[in-house]
Amino acid sequence: MTSLRIQPDMRHPVTRQRVCPMCDTVSTLPELARGERAHCRYCGHVLFKRRHVPIGTPAALAITALILLAFSLSYDYISFSSSGISHSITLPQAATTPMVLNYPVLTLLFVIFVLLLPALYLIGTLYLYLILALRRQSGRARYVARLMHYSLTWVMPDIFVVGVLVSLIKIMSMASISVGISFWTFCGFSLLTLLTVAHTSWNEIWEALGGPCRAPKMDTSKRGLQQGMTCCHVCQQPGRVDEHGHGRCTRCNEVLHARTRNSIQHTLALLLVAAMLYIPSMLWPVMTINQLGDHAHQTIIGGVLLLIGYSDYPVALVIFFASVMVPVAKLMALLWLCLKTRQPLPFRYRNRMRLYHVTHFIGRWSMIDVFVVTVLGSMVQLGALMAIIPEHGIVAFASVVVITMVAAERFDPRLMWDAAEDAFLRQNTSLQEVMKTSHTSSGQDDIADAAFDSTQEQG
């Protein structure tokens, strides 16, 4: 490993100021004890959190998770038995069977989201904490940390476990099911992956890789864009941008954008494509059940009704919520947020930010039905006796999920605050002054209501 000392930018002093990546508000961080977090005073976004576990904990969790993953790939995962005929699968077989059935997209999604990205994330965690333990810096370390930041949204072993449980409940009435060692080790792998993500202290990692945050002193009564500053979305260091809103972070070398270029246009275009694909994903069958020569095509709604018929109401509710309601709600929520960047009044800042965070979080859970079909198609292959074949509907639905997740990433929530500020300025009212008034005098938690009332009185 090549030793490389990354010199911090000494042109600016060490700063405790941060620019919120969600609303562009400039804040000064207080002194934090272990386990405490600092939130943006306007939108509530977490600006900084202090580690509350020993520094070696994420590395230990990552090592254990990788060992469990190796066991998961080596033993039988699930066994399926019907009318004296049994069939067992391993995780590699679960990945390759959809490709044999002419659905390589399902294989690709399974390998990338369930196996490859989680494993690479854990390996990256070990690499970074090894750098910290040796007190050395590699020229590749910052690049690895940036890749880990962008891949985190697509790490989905926990969603796959839920999909497997739903699959087992779906076919319990058709055959006997038994789980192998691989099933339990993969559950442990999923849990430890979540714990590794939760306990990783990115603030300490970036301080070790690129030094403490350095930036010129900023005025907390003005937003970052007004001072030519923005937040690095990777390492959270404030950075200066030029008149075109572009720059480069001096700590992690990430490209800075004061605002995401063509954010609304790209988001709306992706939403339009997702809406067009959602219709066939609901109308086309997602799988075909072949049983003793009888072919039964099943849609997503049909699967929910089948579960209700078997009195599996909790599972039916999970599938209906994750596969039917969530995609529609996400499309409508992102469309509404895009429209509100053009029509900011009346508005509620924090309510919109909560909606955006919820939309960003729940979108990935729609992958449950994709993994359900993948597992069923791999497990139930008993020839003429019984077989489950994936259909085109599940490919269309997987496309909807992926496209809406990309749309949520492309949407820049700072544009909502820009639109509100423009509306205030047109009415000779400063956004920051109204925000201060709402916090210091009215004492209300809902900033937007106070701001809107103020503008109405002036009008």
452 pLDDT tier (thresholds 50, 70, 90): very low
**Higher confidence at residue 145 or residue 426?**
145
Structure confidence by residue, pLDDT tens digits, 311-332: 778 878 888 888 889 899 999 9
Rounded Cα gap, residues 356 and 411, in angstroms: 9
Locate all alpha helices (DSSP H) within 75-201, ordered by sequence. Answer: 91-100, 104-110, 117-134, 141-151, 157-171, 181-199
Residue 36: per-residue pLDDT: 81
d(CA 20, CA 233): 9
Q: How many helices and strands in the chain, by DSSP H and E?
A: 18, 14
- Write the pLDDT tens digit of every residue in 123-148: 999 999 888 888 776 668 888 999 99
Domain positions in the chain: 17-52+212-250, 261-436
Q: How many Å from the N-terminal Cα to the C-terminal Cα in the chain?
A: 65
How do residues 164-180 score in pLDDT, each as one tens digit?
A: 988 888 777 677 888 88
Taking only the tens place, the pLDDT of each residue in 302-313 is 888 877 877 778
Is 24 in contact with 257 (CB distance < 8 Å)?
A: no
Percent of the chain exceeding pLDDT 70 equals 86
CA 369 – CA 398 distance, rounded (Å): 9
Higher pLDDT, 278 or 425: 278
pLDDT at 51 over 90: no
Q: Is the pLDDT of residue 12 over 60?
A: yes
Token pair 């009044």 in the structure block, residue: 345
> Residue 324 CA to chain centroid, in angstroms?
19
Q: Is the pLDDT of residue 424 over 90?
A: no
The predicted pLDDT at position 279 comes to 94
Q: What is the pLDDT of residue 138?
A: 65
Q: Average pLDDT over the chain, rounded to whole?
A: 83
Q: Is the dihedral of CA 438, 441, 442, 446 positive or negative?
A: positive
Interval 330-364: pLDDT, tens: 999 999 999 888 776 655 777 888 889 889 888 88
Using alpha carbons only, how large is the chain's radius of gyration in Å? 25
C-alpha distances (whole Å) from 221 to each of 25, 430, 434 are 8, 10, 11
Evaluate whether 353 touches 44 at the Cβ level (below 8 Å).
yes
Mean pLDDT for the stretch of residues 275-287: 93
Kindly state the tokens that stand for 281.
Answer: 């994903």
Q: What's the confidence (pLDDT) of residue 32? A: 82
How high is the pLDDT of residue 88?
Answer: 83
- Residue 182: pLDDT band with limits 50, 70, 90: very high
Which pLDDT does position 444 carry in this prediction? 38
User: What whole-number percentage of the chain has pLDDT above 90?
Assistant: 37
User: 138: Cβ–Cβ under 8 A, 6 or more apart, which residues?
Assistant: 1, 2, 3, 4, 131
Q: How many residues does the chain have?
A: 459
- On whether the 261-436 domain is CATH 3.30.70, my answer is no
Report pLDDT digits (tens) over 210-245. Answer: 888 888 999 988 899 989 999 999 999 999 999 888
Q: What is the pTM of this model?
A: 0.85
